[in-house]
Amino acid sequence: MTTKKNILILTIFFLMFSLIFYAKTGNMLVDFSRETFIPFQMNNGEKLIKDIFLIYGPFGYILNSFLYLFGPNLNILLFEAHIVSYLILISFYFILENFLSKKATLAFSLAFLAISIFSNSTFSFVLPYSFSTLLGVLGVYFSLYCLLYNKKTMLFLSLGLIFCNKIELFIPIFIISLAFLIYSKKSFKKNFCYIFVFPFVCLIYFLFNKISLDDIFKNYFYLKAMLDSKSLKYLYEGMGTFFNFEYFKYNILLSAKTLGILTISYLIYLIKKPALAYSFLIIGFCLINTNFALNLIGFFAILVSFLSYKKGISKEEIILLLFALILCSKSFFAINSLSYSNFGYILIIFYTFLQLQKIIDKTWLINSIMIFFILNFIGNLGFYISNQKGNFKTKIGKIWIKKEEETLFKTTNKYIEKNIKKNENFIVLPEGQIFNLIHKKNHNFSNSTFTPLDFETFGEKNIIKTLQNNKTDYIIFYPRNTFDYGAKTICYDYAVDFCKFIVDNYTQVASIKDKDKVVIFKIKK
């Protein structure tokens, strides 16, 4: 098979998956609201850092605000995400082709497409919880490709792209890239200036909007408060981002089961009974949750490196391992396709495969990995089938929402359309800026949402003060369980004083009931 044929096959599968899973990954209301709304705010007088709290790098929002000049529309952002995802997929293919045959590279790339890019989780590529993260990941894949194929100009452009989107990824990638170039005795002085292309775009935005150092320091103060908050720690511990002994204990047990299944299957294979070996493997994997079976593969990849060291590890393989670990570092204790590690999950599996093929039978290894990938994809597909999403047309494109929430969402949207006048504004608590985008209403709060994390970051008194100063006309309480932040329900488990302020200064004007309930308040005159 030629490279061109493989790229064509990948493109066909990418388009097919796009048609099947379009806008159905993650949660459009919770995970995608902020990303759709901030570019709209920017085009309506609010400025990043000065008026809008910035968690990620600015470039993704600057790009999306430019795209919104053609009119705010979900399909614009979804199309952008698909283009970026496709570029990551093709980069992944060429990275692997540097190490494997074209046939094996295609197989791994199809797995990457089916399991990671179209993951059913919040961390899918095609409905990204953060466009800055997605663009930063694209920069990482481009950088790895450039190092392997000696594309120095594109390398520094990619490093600049990472810097403007995910600075925590930029620092280690920049150091590794320079070290690799110096070690390989490659001249790069003429190419270095290209690193400033994307930062220059951001600098122009800052200067044009008169964003001062005081604004940057204030944003940094809130960002530090967020990083130090208990809510974020609780959220991250549940994802394996921070070390959690109980979670680690679970992973150790699951890893032992996975390793046991693989070892027994391999021993059966060695006594010349491959059909039995693969049957045992399939049955074994069906008895455990394959989505989490490789949660500790980061540790395993490092261990395998020592085991295969005598067989020889090339500098390209070391670069591959380092890049994979950096992409998986935020969820190092839970490396899977349902966490932040999704962006490097298959890459680190691939590296582990490269090392294992040096010390065990390659045929069994390839077949076992393919079985694992197929079972993961079946699980991914099963999630989509069992969690059907409904959709309805709006002025900003189709909204895809969980079937059980569809009626409540539509009814709430109709109420806003009929009752809230053009000169009136509203906020949705604890999350739901997508309603603001549908009706093109700013909410003039620095905080994107009203989750426990935001209240801990900005302080309840400051949020009350902002509400008081803005004189927001309507408050809409939309059901959202925020237990992932350690406090389940707004007004009961957190933000009690904030809600008391609403009760004192607002009057309940509507209650919309379905399986859950939406409560709407209007400011007292």
How high is the mean pLDDT of the chain? Answer: 92
Average pLDDT score over residue span 149-167: 96
- Spatial distance between the Cα atoms of 388 and 301, rounded to a whole number of angstroms: 36
- Spatial distance between the Cα atoms of 238 and 163, rounded to a whole number of angstroms: 28
> Quick check: 193 pLDDT over 90?
yes
What is the token pair recorded at 192? 């270095």
Helix (H) or strand (E) run with residue 397 in it: strand 397-402
What is the token pair recorded at 440? 């093109």
Rg over CA atoms, the chain: 24
Q: What is the pLDDT of residue 186?
A: 86
- Give yes or no for a contact between 368 and 45, defined as CB atoms under 8 angstroms apart: no
What is the token pair recorded at 153? 């100009």
What is the token pair recorded at 265? 């299957």
Q: Quote the Cα angle for 189-139-399, to 5°.
A: 155
Domain boundaries, the chain: 3-213, 245-386, 389-523
> Quick check: 164 pLDDT over 90?
yes
* Pairing between β-strand 426-429 and β-strand 474-477 as defined by DSSP bridges: parallel
Average pLDDT score over residue span 109-128: 93
Residues 296-306: pLDDT tens digits? 999 999 999 99
Residues 442-475: pLDDT tens digits? 888 888 789 999 999 999 999 999 988 888 999 9
- Spatial distance between the Cα atoms of 39 and 43, rounded to a whole number of angstroms: 6
Q: Measured between alpha carbons, how far is residue 365 from residues 100, 348, 356 in Å? A: 14, 15, 8
The answer for residues whose C-beta is within 8 angstroms of residue 234's C-beta and 6 or more apart is 484, 485, 486
Average pLDDT score over residue span 493-501: 93
- Give yes or no for a contact between 14 and 113, defined as CB atoms under 8 angstroms apart: yes
Q: What is the pLDDT of residue 471?
A: 84
Which one-letter amino acid corresponds to residue 74?
A: L
Residues 278-294: pLDDT tens digits? 999 999 999 998 888 99
Q: What is the pLDDT of residue 9?
A: 96
- Spatial distance between the Cα atoms of 444 and 50, rounded to a whole number of angstroms: 12
Q: What is the pLDDT of residue 245?
A: 79
Task: Give how far the C-alpha of residue 461 lies from the chain's centroid of Cα atoms, to the nearest Å.
Answer: 31
DSSP-based three-state secondary structure for 166:
coil
Tell me which DSSP letter residue 293 carries.
T
Residues 349-403: pLDDT tens digits? 999 999 999 999 999 999 999 999 999 999 888 888 888 888 888 889 988 988 8
Residues 72-104: pLDDT tens digits? 999 999 999 999 999 999 999 999 999 999 999
Closest CA to 451 of 492, 494, 502, 503: 494
- Give yes or no for a contact between 384 and 24, defined as CB atoms under 8 angstroms apart: yes
- Spatial distance between the Cα atoms of 436 and 36, rounded to a whole number of angstroms: 10
Residues 216-250: pLDDT tens digits? 999 999 999 999 999 988 888 877 777 777 788 88
Q: What is the pLDDT of residue 518?
A: 92
The verdict on whether omega for the bond into residue 274 sits within 30 degrees of 0, i.e. cis, is no
Per the listing, tokens 């045992």 go with 280
Which one-letter amino acid corresponds to residue 204?
A: I
Q: What is the pLDDT of residue 525?
A: 77
For residue 391, list its beta bridge partners.
Answer: 400
> Quick check: 481 pLDDT over 90?
no
Grade residue 310 by pLDDT with cuts at 50, 70 and 90. confident
- Give yes or no for a contact between 127 and 28, defined as CB atoms under 8 angstroms apart: yes
| No. of helices (H) and no. of strands (E), the chain | 22, 6
> Quick check: 295 pLDDT over 80?
yes
Average pLDDT score over residue span 129-137: 95
Higher pLDDT, 129 or 324: 324
> Quick check: 418 pLDDT over 90?
yes
Q: What is the pLDDT of residue 235?
A: 86
What does residue 169 show for φ and ψ, rounded to 5 degrees?
A: -80, -35
> Quick check: 435 pLDDT over 90?
yes
- Give yes or no for a contact between 35 and 42, defined as CB atoms under 8 angstroms apart: no
Closest CA to 412 of 398, 424, 426: 426
Q: What is the pLDDT of residue 241?
A: 77
Q: Where are the alpha helices (DSSP H) in 22-58?
A: 33-42
Q: What is the pLDDT of residue 30?
A: 85
- Spatial distance between the Cα atoms of 517 and 520, rounded to a whole number of angstroms: 10
Order the strands of the 506-513 sheet from edge to edge: 426-429, 474-477, 517-523, 506-513
- Spatial distance between the Cα atoms of 465 and 259, rounded to a whole number of angstroms: 55
Percentage of residues of the chain with pLDDT beyond 90? 72
For residue 506, list its beta bridge partners.
Answer: 523
- Give yes or no for a contact between 192 and 163, defined as CB atoms under 8 angstroms apart: no
